Amino acid sequence: MKNKIIPPGDHRLDTNKNLKWNILFAILSGALLILSFPKYGSGFVAWFVFIPLLFALHRVTSIRQAILLGFITGVVGYTGIIYWIVYVVVNYGYLPVYLGIIIMLLLACYLSVYLAIFAAGIVYFRRKIPLYLIAPVLWICLEYCKSQLLTGFPWENLGYSQYLNLYLIQFADILGVFGLSFLIILVNVSLFEIITKRSKREYIVAAAVSLTLVSVYIYGIFRVNNIDKLLQNASAPSMEVSLIQGNIDQSIKWNENFQKETLNIYEDISLKNVPANGGLIVWPETAIPFNFQDKNDLRRQIKNISIKTKSNFIFGSMSYSPGRHYVDYYNSAYLLSPEGEVKGKYDKVHLVPYGEYVPLRNVFPFIKGLTAGIGDFSTGDGYFPLSSAGRKIGVLICYEGILPFAARMYKKESAEILVNITNDAWFGSTSAPYQHLSMTIFRAVETRLYLVRAANTGISAIVDPRGHIAAQTNIFQKDSLKGKVKFLNIPTFYAEHGDILVVVCFMLSILCLLWSWRGRVRNADR
């Protein structure tokens, strides 16, 4: 049988050519998504990150193609953002490299589903509802779902890309990081509409978007100046803090032969960087490689540090609670008074799946074998501040620093400072430590509290209530940070009311769906 000849100008050739270009545009948006975040990217890129994808979607003829293009953008982008997972599970989960890559790609594919739905929604609604309305609304709904479903993975939501844009991020004390994500998508769509249509309506919309962005900046300038005055107030109560970065290699951290050496390293740095009397010393997550509950010489050495320095002392340690049939283990933070007394203990509430506990281990027995190097902790009772000398301290352990609701809970409980302790040694010299810090900064803006961050291998930092990084360390070096924090009582709309924007976006998306279905029913009746 002879091959069928496709005549010149056949639409199938054009369709294939368009598909190839559309895929290239989708890949380009994925690459720009990577470049929107640290350590190698810039927040400026986020303002046009999805324009190539919008061009591709503008030319597709089916929902199926839209899903494919959105998924491609997501896989490229999220693979570049979370590539560090391979390093973690291979080096500390003891998995072969190929399995580490598969696990990372599976997570990237899961995250890409949200982008695929976003792309499908744009194509579905594009003839019914203006793009500048449906795109940001749909994005916020999906970004919220990504942050909550299956324990949630809000890692580098789009708004976090702006962490260095001091004036812009002030808006987070009203609508949180989702408010910034909304603005970024709105600007992307506005630019795309001007490029493709250039009609009077598009220019009017672009002018309105520009005015909104300018208003946000003006608000940011006002808030920065306002908080500056409060920070410069000499009568505002303050405290000196000293953050200790021991730079203990993860491979020896839990080796009993190095317990004393690890403790001596942290003690030596602490004694050389003693805060003023009544100040606060902070050690990172699980800084002490033993259970502080056990009464031994190591415990006595820890208590003596607060006595020698006459300081309040927060440090991370594992803890346990014996039960009738088993023992519950916790990832905990202790607070000691300047007299060496235990003033409180916080047990981490939000655990990281397959990092601190193993979901489905009883349903799928093979999972236990794959996660042999992973701990299995119990969850704490809630976000309750630790208190010493009349000061309330909200402690965020590791991953909790990227959770807005955790900081909000502390603010509602009258916490006066946020302390984030973490051990980012797991991440090596990948982008993850930089990404982790970029998200944590927003907790200071949302609550208008000082946030101090002690990380085993860095990045340790002092962040003021404006979200400005007053000081920070480099990664993988023994170091310390000493600085003064002030206790400011600044109420914020976001801390009080939470994600109002998300509620509004879900309501609008439901209305959009009802409107589109109504139109279909009308057409069917004709």
Q: Tell me whether residue 348 is one of the annotated catalytic residues.
A: yes
417-422 sheet: strands from edge to edge: 386-388, 391-397, 417-422, 451-455, 461-463, 469-472
Of 146, 343, 348, 486, which is the active-site residue? 348
Whole-number Å distance between alpha carbons of 173 and 18: 44
User: In 3D, which of 60, 109, 103 has the Cα closest to residue 85?
Assistant: 103
Phi, psi of 27 (to 5 degrees): -65, -40
Choose, from 398, 411, 416, 512, the residue flagged as catalytic.
Answer: 398
Count CB-CB contacts under 10 A for residue 56: 29
- Tell me which DSSP letter residue 329 carries: E
Q: Report the run of H or E that residue 313 belongs to, with start and end.
A: strand 312-322
Q: Could you give the CA distance from residue 334 to residue 316 in angstroms, rounded to a whole number?
A: 6
Longest CA–CA span in the chain (Å) reads 93
Residues 243 and 273: their CA atoms lie apart, in Å, by: 9
Please give the Cα distance from 178 to 442 (Å, whole number). 11
- DSSP at 350: S
d(C-alpha 34, C-alpha 70), whole Å: 15
Length of the chain equals: 526
For 35-130, where are the alpha helices, taking DSSP H only?
51-59, 63-81, 84-91, 97-125
Identify residue 288 by its one-letter amino acid code. Answer: I
Give alpha helix (H) positions in 448-525: 493-497, 500-525
Dump the DSSP string for 443-465.
HHHHHT--EEEEESSS--EEE-T
Residues 49, 188 contacting (CB under 8 angstroms) = yes
Considering only CA atoms, which of 262, 214, 78 is closest in space to residue 155? 78
Q: How far is CA 168 from CA 181, 186, 293, 490, 495, in A?
A: 12, 15, 45, 19, 18
The CA-atom distances, in angstroms, between 436 and each of 253, 424, 441, 517 are 21, 9, 9, 42
Which pair of structure tokens corresponds to residue 28? 């380009």
Spot the catalytic one: 285, 356, 400, 416.
285
Tell me how far apart the alpha carbons of residues 310 and 132 are, in angstroms, rounded to a whole number. Answer: 58
Catalytic residue IDs: 285, 348, 398
